[in-house]
Every structure is written in C-alpha cells, then in structure tokens.
Amino acid sequence: MMPLPHLLRALALALIVLFSINLTAQAGPGNKTKGKAPVEKVSKVGQYQGYGEPQYKGYQYSSLYLTMTDSTMIATDVFLPKGIKAGTKVPTLLYVTRYTRSLRAKWPLSWLKNPVLVVVNEAEVKYFTSHGYAVLIVDARGTGASSGRRTMEFSPEEVADGGQVVDWIIAQPWSNGKVGTSGISYGATTAEQLLLNQHPAVKACIPRSGILDLYNHIMFPGGVRQAQFIDIWGFTTRSLDQNDLSVFGKKAKRLIKGIQPVQGDKKKAYFNENLLVHKGNFDVYEGIKVVTCREDKHPDLSRSSNEFSTHYQIERVANSGSAIYRIGGWYDGALTKSIIEGFWNTPNTDKVLIGPWDHGPADNASPWSPTTERGFDIYAEMLRYFDFHLKGIDNQLPNDDKFHYYTVGEEKWKSTNVWPPAYVKDQTFYLSANNSIVYEAKDVQNGSTIYPIDYEANTDSHSRWNSLTTLYKNGPTTYGNRREPSDKLLHYDYAPFETDVELTGSAIAHLFISADATNADVFVYIEDVHPDGKTVYMVTEGMLRGIHRKVAEDTDTYKQIGPYHSYTQADMQPMVPGEVTEFALDLLPISYQFKAGHRLRISIAGADKLHFDSPTERPTQLTLHCSEQYPSRVLLPLAVWE
C-alpha cells in the first residue's frame, strides 16, 4: 500500500547470455587508442543549490471563488507570507491544476492540518512564501471545487480562465504586478498554456515535465497508443471528479474527507452542485479509442487533439514575452522530447535543466546511481529564476549557459548553449546478419533474420512510462539489469569500446523490415552490455507503428526531432505482407557514457505489453534485412575526438 505522503505528492503529477559471435575490435568511435576527449563545459548549476535566504516563516491561507466572464466559478487557494506588512507588495506564483488544489482531512487530522495540499505540496508553498512570494493554486474549470463541465483537457476556455485569474492577482493590494507560473505534468502544461493569453503581467514560466505535443509525446509516442497509461490516468481523474479518493488506498479513505470546499460556501451548496456537474466530464480513455491519427476528431468534440496541444500554438508561446525555464528528466516517458523541441521552438526559453530523473522530477533513475533520491534542490533553481524575472534581483542568471544536462554513467553535469552540443557528431553503425554491429558498410554480412514476435515482451513495471501517473507507478523508477529480457529480443552487438564513449542527443534508426501483416509496431532499444556479459543496462528507446512510417517533409509548423512523421490520414500507409519497408524513427533523447570495455547493443521488439497497445492485426514475426540494398543502421550522436 502506498504511504499517504507519497500518494499526495504523486497526485501532483495532476512507469545476458550473448550470441556466440567473435567480435573483434575495429576502426570506429571508442576503438581508437589515441585522441583527446572532446571539449565540453562543466555545468555550474550545482553552485546555486543553497541560493536564497528565507524572509518569512509560514503562510496565511484563504480561499475564494473567482467568477469568470461566462459565470464559471474558479475555486482558488491563496497563500501569503505569514506576517507580511500592509503595503508590502510581492510577486505571485500561479498554479492551475485539474487534480484538485487541496484536500480536507477528517477529524482529528483536520484540527492539525487544513487544508491538505496535494498537487503543489506544502513544502513548495512554504518555500516560496518564506522567500517573499504569494502563491495561488486554482482548480481548473470542471474539477475540484470549481464549477463547469470539462469538454476536454486543456480546453480554450480553461486557457482563458488563467488570464482572468492573472487579472485578479495584479489588482490585489499585495501584488507587485508580476506573475510567474509553474507546475508538474498537467500543471506544467497549464503553466505554459497560460502564456497563450500573452498577458503582460506573466513574466516567467517554469514547466516541469510538461507536455508540448499531446499526440506524439504522451498519447501516441511514435504513433503507438499508450492506452495503459491513459486508462489509469482517466480512472484517476474520474475518481477525483467524483470526490472519490478510495482508489488511492485505505489510508486516504480513512484520513481524507475529500476535496476542500471554498471558504464561505455555506453548507457547501456550490460545492455539491459542482460535483454533480463534474460527473458528466469528458472521458479521456473512451475518447482515445476513436483516435488513430493526429487530425482524428472525437464525434462529441468536433476537434482533434492537435487543437488542445501546446505545440499547435507554439508561436503564441514564443511571442508571449514570458521567459521560460524547462525542467525534466531523461527517464520521463517521451516528455524529454517536449523539453528539447520546446527549447528549439521558443526563443524565450532561456534555460533548460535535464537530470537523470523520471516524471516530476521525482526519482533518480540512473542505473549507475547508488540511490533513487533525486539529490538536487530544484526549488533553489526555481527561486533564482523567479527572483531575477519577478523581483529584478541581479543574481547573474544571464551569465549562465542555457542548457544544463546530466550525463548518465559519467554521473556529471554539463552545459551548452545549443542542442545537441557542438562536440557531438552523428556516427553510423550498421547492423549485420550475423547479429553484430559494424562501423563500415563494407563489413556488413548480407542476410535477414526472422524474429518471432513475443507479445509478452515489456520494459518492466518500473520504467519511464510507469512514472507518468500515480496508480501506474510501482515505486521508484529503476533501470537495473535487463539481461534476460534483452536476450529474448532480436539483438545486435558491437565490439567492446576501447575508450569511454559519450552518446548525447537523439539516436536515429533506419531499419529495413518486413512483416506478415498490414501493420506492425517496431520498438528499438539501445543497451549497454557490461564486460562480463551478465549485466545489460537500458540506454534509451524508440518506437514506430508501421502505418505511420512515411517520412514527411512538412514539419507541422514546429521543429521536431527527426525523421518527421505526420501521423495523418493522408500519410497513413498499410504495410504489404512480406514486402520490405523502411522504419525510420528517432529514439528518446539521452546523454549517456559507455565505459571502456562495454558493448553497444541494439535490440528490436514487436511489443511492449505493459505500456502500449498492439495493432488490431497482429503480425506473428518481423524480419530484419541487412545488405547494401537494405542498409539497416543506427545513427548515434557521439562525442568526437580531436
């Protein structure tokens, strides 16, 4: 049973036996005996971990309804620094959630703690109020104690509400007229979508694990439906919308009464009426069943997921006048792509932080780390950023490099102003029919290999995908030894590296595959095989559904990690059984160091049972082809030698 404190924090988040191949060292990256390591920048991000001195102790709490122009009543919790003097003006941090702004404890716990904070945990509220910030947490329309019914997540009406809340904030006597916004997951996405209003008072935004592209980064990575996550997420939100916390365990049911009503709502008249309306909220899980392509419209909405997605209006974010600091982890579902592509497409993103973390960020998921503790003070990073943009404090923020990232394996922070870093260059590795990887095309052994698809194959229940929502997470996200599942896949090994080799960026796979069906899913894994052959670590992964394999030229108005797939009806192409076709796909971004003596492994699967739906028509086998005509290969972004 999950402990209640873990539960409440998690809600804020409104987942070898080698082939007997004689692999000899060859020319190629990591097999040079001479050469200098590339020039790299060591990040200074850690030097500010103790930044800032508290000015206040504790907070004073109040709640109220803010009435929108269409009469929707938005439940709002207000936290001001305790003891703030009349006439003192402070900046405000705004959080918009659909996971309930706060809860009400049962007696006698309610005597000690009221409200119980959920999405924005109490430590975060105390931290920022103690440093001289007002904090507002609001229930998005149709959730919590707010009125209205949800027609879809991230609706235009929800976005517009945020602008009206900002209007109210800057009219308060304690406001200095400047607003910052943040949140995790759904709250990170609402934080960035607040910028769509282009409100001049919103000066800074820190999305943590935000969703830029609803289709490709959360619902259908690579066009493959992530239905298990959507199902559990939908079940969780439906329970919250009905004020039913029993799904979170006996402790929650025993200690928590439910959603916190707004002060002054006598006899909870508005509260009870709103909960009745929430029962009619849009069912995300049922809605996703009618979606295959980007532009597919739900019959009840007459709009596609694109129209609710941040990427669809990315130019408005870029022109909002708000500075953006994107924070996340390498093991955060497919949401690392949201950080990279957000950085590329919004010049006002002046800072990025990517650690060895999962969703939240919550846990350290590096297989090289001795602990799953995050080990990093993100609040201090946020405070320094908000102090500069909302208080005008000269804390040398503009002198920082823009992009700070952690190299897993090397266990080291680095920084750059461009992504990928300038010292990285794509290197091509070819798959060979003898289950080896070679660096020269001329060394490829021609042939094909049949892989009988194992539909029980999966990436474990502690993977990056499980961290995305509370009931899906099975303890800390861990990436330990996966030798046994790796051995069962179709896999190819490279010769042992003679030097340490750094992979930083997005690997691109070009695989020539045939299947005995008109559709197939292809999952590609980069793995690190230790010298003893008994330990295999996951490095990164990618996937692509066969009907979406066409590479398109139109980039859907925003720059993406390639190869570009439109996922539209127009570009959808059924496979021809037995016919060889190219699967060109990107793998999730990563920065990872292979140690000297370790091997690069490329593994291929046709399913990930625990996390993704398989096609309606299931192929029984995949055949991978390796030859001059069908050069199956993977491009790896590696640090180059001088």
pTM attached to this predicted model = 0.93
Report d(CA 335, CA 351) in Å as an integer: 17
Residues 6+ apart with CB under 8 A from 536: 16, 481, 482, 483, 486, 527, 528, 529, 530, 601
Q: For residue range 217-250, list pLDDT tens digits in order.
A: 999 999 999 999 999 999 999 999 999 988 888 7
Task: With a cut of 70, say whether residue 76 has pLDDT above it.
Answer: yes
pLDDT of residue 303: 82
pLDDT of residue 299: 77
Whose structure tokens read 């497919």? 334
Mean pLDDT score, 484-510: 97
Task: With a cut of 60, say whether residue 16 has pLDDT above it.
Answer: no
| Annotated catalytic residue, options 185, 305, 338, 506 | 185
pLDDT of residue 298: 79
289 versus 187: the higher-pLDDT residue is 187
| Annotated catalytic residue, options 332, 400, 460, 608 | 332
Domain count, the chain: 2
Query: Is 334 contained in some domain?
Result: yes
pLDDT of residue 31: 60
Position 185 confidence tier, pLDDT thresholds 50, 70, 90: very high
Q: Which domain holds residue 347?
A: 53-354
Mean pLDDT score, 339-353: 98
Co-location of 343 and 477 in the same domain: no
Co-location of 320 and 184 in the same domain: yes
Domain boundary among 339, 354, 369: 354
Dihedral of the alpha carbons of 319, 322, 327, 333, in degrees to the nearest 10? -40
Task: With a cut of 70, say whether residue 629 has pLDDT above it.
Answer: yes
Query: Is 2 contained in some domain?
Result: no
Co-location of 475 and 348 in the same domain: no
Instruction: Answer whether the bond into residue 420 is a cis peptide, omega within 30°.
Output: yes
Query: Is 565 contained in some domain?
Result: yes
Co-location of 319 and 458 in the same domain: no
Co-location of 476 and 333 in the same domain: no
The two most distant CA atoms of the chain are separated, in Å, by: 80
Task: Based on the residue annotation, tell me whether 627 is a catalytic residue of this protein.
Answer: no
Residue 71: burial class (beta carbons within 10 Å; 0-12, 13-18, 19+): exposed
Task: With a cut of 50, say whether residue 23 has pLDDT above it.
Answer: no
Report d(CA 630, CA 582) in Å as an integer: 8
Co-location of 151 and 254 in the same domain: yes
- Residue 325 pairs in a beta bridge with 351
pLDDT of residue 290: 84
Report d(CA 131, CA 383) in Å as an integer: 8
The tokens for 151 are 């027609």
Give percent above pLDDT 90 in the chain: 82
Mean pLDDT score, 394-411: 96
The terminus-to-terminus CA distance of the chain in angstroms comes to 54
Co-location of 342 and 431 in the same domain: no
Task: With a cut of 90, say whether residue 18 has pLDDT above it.
Answer: no
Co-location of 242 and 334 in the same domain: yes
Task: With a cut of 90, say whether residue 372 has pLDDT above it.
Answer: yes
Q: Which residues of 143-167 are buried (b: 16+ CB within 10 A; e: fewer)?
A: bbbbbbebbbbbbebbbbbbbbbbe
The tokens for 19 are 């082939």
Dihedral of the alpha carbons of 295, 553, 193, 391, in degrees to the nearest 10? 180
The tokens for 21 are 């191949």
DSSP code string of 16-57: -PPP-------SSTT--SS-PPPP-EE--GGGGTT-------
pLDDT of residue 37: 52
Task: Based on the residue annotation, tell me whether 185 is a catalytic residue of this protein.
Answer: yes
Task: With a cut of 50, say whether residue 15 has pLDDT above it.
Answer: no
Query: Is 121 contained in some domain?
Result: yes
Report d(CA 558, CA 41) in Å as an integer: 29
Query: Is 483 contained in some domain?
Result: yes
Query: Is 10 contained in some domain?
Result: no
Q: For residue range 87-100, list pLDDT tens digits in order.
A: 999 999 999 999 99
Report d(CA 446, CA 475) in Å as an integer: 45
Position 5 confidence tier, pLDDT thresholds 50, 70, 90: very low
CB 147 within 8 A of CB 72: yes
CB 485 within 8 A of CB 607: no
Q: Which residues of 544-572 are buried (b: 16+ CB within 10 A; e: fewer)?
A: bbbbbbbeeeeebebebbebbbbbbeebb
Domain boundary among 354, 381, 396: 354
Report d(CA 235, CA 491) in Å as an integer: 37
Position 213 confidence tier, pLDDT thresholds 50, 70, 90: very high
CA distances 57 to 79, 113, 280, Å, are 12, 16, 42
pLDDT of residue 47: 76
Co-location of 200 and 280 in the same domain: yes
44 versus 197: the higher-pLDDT residue is 197
Task: With a cut of 80, say whether residue 9 has pLDDT above it.
Answer: no
Query: Is 413 contained in some domain?
Result: no
Co-location of 343 and 436 in the same domain: no
The tokens for 88 are 């003192």
Report d(CA 517, CA 51) in Å as an integer: 58
Task: With a cut of 90, say whether residue 112 has pLDDT above it.
Answer: no
Report d(CA 373, CA 5) in Å as an integer: 16
Co-location of 565 and 429 in the same domain: yes
Position 394 confidence tier, pLDDT thresholds 50, 70, 90: very high
Please give the DSSP secondary-structure letter assigned to residue 501.
Answer: E
Q: For residue range 302-321, list pLDDT tens digits in order.
A: 788 889 999 999 999 999 99
pLDDT of residue 642: 46
Domain boundary among 336, 354, 372: 354
Task: With a cut of 90, say whether residue 109 has pLDDT above it.
Answer: no
CB 437 within 8 A of CB 600: yes
| Annotated catalytic residue, options 359, 404, 565, 625 | 359
CB 329 within 8 A of CB 361: yes
CATH number for the domain spanning 573: value is 2.60.120.260
Picking from 64-78, 170-184, 214-228, 542-556, which range would have the lowest pLDDT averaged per residue?
542-556
Q: For residue range 435-449, list pLDDT tens digits in order.
A: 999 999 999 999 999
As a whole number, the mean pLDDT across the chain is 91
Task: With a cut of 90, say whether residue 181 has pLDDT above it.
Answer: yes
pLDDT of residue 493: 98
Report d(CA 179, CA 133) in Å as an integer: 10
Position 27 confidence tier, pLDDT thresholds 50, 70, 90: low
CA distances 607 to 8, 312, 336, 604, 613, Å, are 33, 30, 22, 9, 8
pLDDT of residue 40: 67
Position 263 confidence tier, pLDDT thresholds 50, 70, 90: very high
CATH number for the domain spanning 176: value is 3.40.50.1820
Q: For residue range 321-335, list pLDDT tens digits in order.
A: 999 999 999 999 999
- What number of H helices and E strands is found in the chain? 14, 27
Task: Based on the residue annotation, tell me whether 565 is a catalytic residue of this protein.
Answer: no
The tokens for 20 are 């007997």
Task: With a cut of 50, say whether residue 35 has pLDDT above it.
Answer: no
DSSP code string of 576-603: PTT--EEEEEEPPPEEEEEPTT-EEEEE
Co-location of 446 and 341 in the same domain: no
Dihedral of the alpha carbons of 552, 554, 560, 566, in degrees to the nearest 10? -50
pLDDT of residue 13: 35
Please give the DSSP secondary-structure letter assigned to residue 297.
Answer: B
Count of other CB atoms within 10 angstroms of residue 611? 26
DSSP code string of 411-434: TEEEEESSSS-TTEEEEEEEEETT
pLDDT of residue 454: 97
Query: Is 132 contained in some domain?
Result: yes
